[in-house]
């Protein structure tokens, strides 16, 4: 059996038994994407228009009016998917080469679910200054930058500094994509259980990129209170071991002033959001409020297994596709970028993210059930709704350029 082979046999062409029988290897062989021309190249006339001498006219026009680059190149239709391979899909620090299949996958999700072209870029560096400089120098070729699978806390500084240097959207999907989809699902779960979001107390397990972004968007959305927990317990102003990011987090969360462990935070909580891994004891889950909402999103093993969660919760969501209510970033980032590119936005604002969450929630607002508080990634209504909402919000916030 291939799964038990420690040193798989290699054929003369280098193909191993595992590669021969595993469909994942078969699908990935040769890569998952390619560049395709959008104009004909049938004869010398086509060549002279697409390249020299015709291309010189377009270049000269752009040199005189730089904004024309959006009209006469791919810039307004394409994003770069950038990683350093330091925090990949639960695999951790696997490096740039090993991360490339994931970046290719992200690129084809952009195309499939948002009609946005994307180029995977895996950087062989970890220094924040070098990453910022490199991506900033690449920025003229793209309409937006999607940062992907970069470890915290470096990801926060990279995103902030890049957005200060370039006038195209910089979006760290591990943070903001997760946050947008989580808020959309929570809005519908609150509606389903008859509670306003302003009356909810949430507990987030995980103070990394996703946890911080979720806390921020929940506060922006008006949640009653939210406490964030890391490995050492509740992030509170009383702690002396906090990083700058966590110190900032303590400043706008945990209005109740809770201290102690995750288990103590869960006592009476309405919402659990897991973005950390590990296992939450059932005894702690049992102390949550009646009709709780449990979003246990670690993959492949949720912090609270749905079989346990359903004993105590009215709504259960995970990050897995084999359970109902999958919190999947693909519901957010394609439409967010499509909307931003459509209006040539200079950045993606908090208002644009809130608009995306509201639009996403609205897709299934009339179809709510305990197993349906968020749309399927294959629901064709999702991308158009998110795109339109983000474009409108960009115009309202003054970051749109058309």
Catalytic residue positions, numbered: 51, 106
What distance in Å separates the CA atoms of residue 270 and residue 296, rounded to the nearest whole number? 14
What distance in Å separates the CA atoms of residue 289 and residue 313, rounded to the nearest whole number? 9
Residue 237, Ramachandran bin (φ over 0: left; ψ between -120 and 50: alpha; else beta): alpha
What distance in Å separates the CA atoms of residue 380 and residue 385, rounded to the nearest whole number? 9
CB 176 within 8 A of CB 274: no
What distance in Å separates the CA atoms of residue 175 and residue 320, rounded to the nearest whole number? 18
Pairing of strands 271-274, 117-122: unpaired
Q: Which residues of 360-376 are buried (b: 16+ CB within 10 A; e: fewer)?
A: bbbbbeeebeeeebbbe
CB 33 within 8 A of CB 109: no
- The alpha-helical segments, DSSP class H, found in 87-243 are 95-114, 128-138, 154-165, 173-192, 209-220
How many other C-beta atoms lie within 10 A of the C-beta of residue 5? 11
What distance in Å separates the CA atoms of residue 132 and residue 145, rounded to the nearest whole number? 12
How many other C-beta atoms lie within 10 A of the C-beta of residue 201? 19
Q: For residue 51, what are the CA distances in angstroms to 46, 56, 59, 125?
A: 8, 8, 11, 35
Q: For residue 7, what are the CA distances in angstroms to 1, 4, 262?
A: 12, 9, 42
**Token reading at 186:** 């929570």
């Amino acid at each position: 059996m291939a799964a038990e082979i420690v040193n798989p046999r290699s054929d003369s062409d280098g193909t191993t038994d595992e590669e021969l029988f595993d469909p994942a290897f078969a699908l990935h062989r040769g890569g998952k994407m390619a560049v395709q021309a959008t104009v004909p190249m049938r004869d010398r006339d086509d060549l002279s228009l697409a390249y020299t001498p015709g291309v010189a006219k377009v270049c000269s026009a752009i040199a005189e009016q730089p904004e024309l680059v959006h009209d006469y190149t791919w810039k307004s239709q394409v994003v770069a998917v950038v990683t350093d391979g330091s925090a990949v899909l639960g695999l951790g620090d696997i490096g740039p080469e090993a991360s490339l299949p994931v970046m290719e996958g992200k690129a084809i999700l952009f195309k499939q679910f948002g009609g946005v072209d994307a180029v995977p870029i895996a950087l062989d560096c970890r220094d924040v200054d070098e990453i910022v400089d490199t991506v900033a120098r690449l920025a003229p070729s793209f309409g937006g930058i999607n940062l992907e699978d970069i470890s915290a806390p470096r990801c926060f500084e990279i995103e902030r500094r890049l957005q200060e240097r370039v006038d195209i959207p910089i979006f760290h999907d591990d943070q903001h994509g997760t946050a947008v989809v989580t808020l959309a699902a929570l809005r519908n779960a609150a509606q389903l259980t008859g509670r306003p979001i302003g009356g909810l107390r949430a507990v987030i397990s995980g103070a990394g990129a996703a946890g911080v972004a979720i806390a921020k968007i929940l506060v922006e959305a008006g949640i009653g209170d939210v406490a964030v927990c890391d490995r050492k317990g509740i992030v509170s102003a009383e702690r002396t071991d906090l990083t700058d990011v966590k110190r900032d987090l303590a400043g706008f969360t945990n209005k109740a002033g809770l201290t102690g462990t995750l288990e103590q935070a869960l006592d009476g909580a309405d919402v659990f959001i897991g973005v950390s891994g590990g296992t939450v004891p059932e005894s702690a889950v049992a102390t949550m409020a009646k009709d709780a909402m449990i979003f246990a999103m670690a993959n492949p093993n949720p912090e609270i297994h749905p079989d346990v969660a359903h004993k105590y919760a009215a709504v259960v969501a995970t990050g897995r596709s084999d359970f109902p209510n999958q919190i999947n970033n693909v519901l957010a980032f394609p439409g967010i970028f499509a909307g931003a590119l459509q209006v040539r936005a200079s950045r993606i604002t908090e208002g644009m993210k809130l608009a995306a969450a509201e639009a996403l929630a609205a897709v299934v607002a009339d179809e709510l059930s305990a197993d349906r508080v968020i749309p399927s990634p294959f629901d064709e209504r999702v991308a158009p709704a998110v795109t339109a909402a983000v474009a409108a919000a960009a115009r309202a916030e003054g970051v749109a350029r058309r």
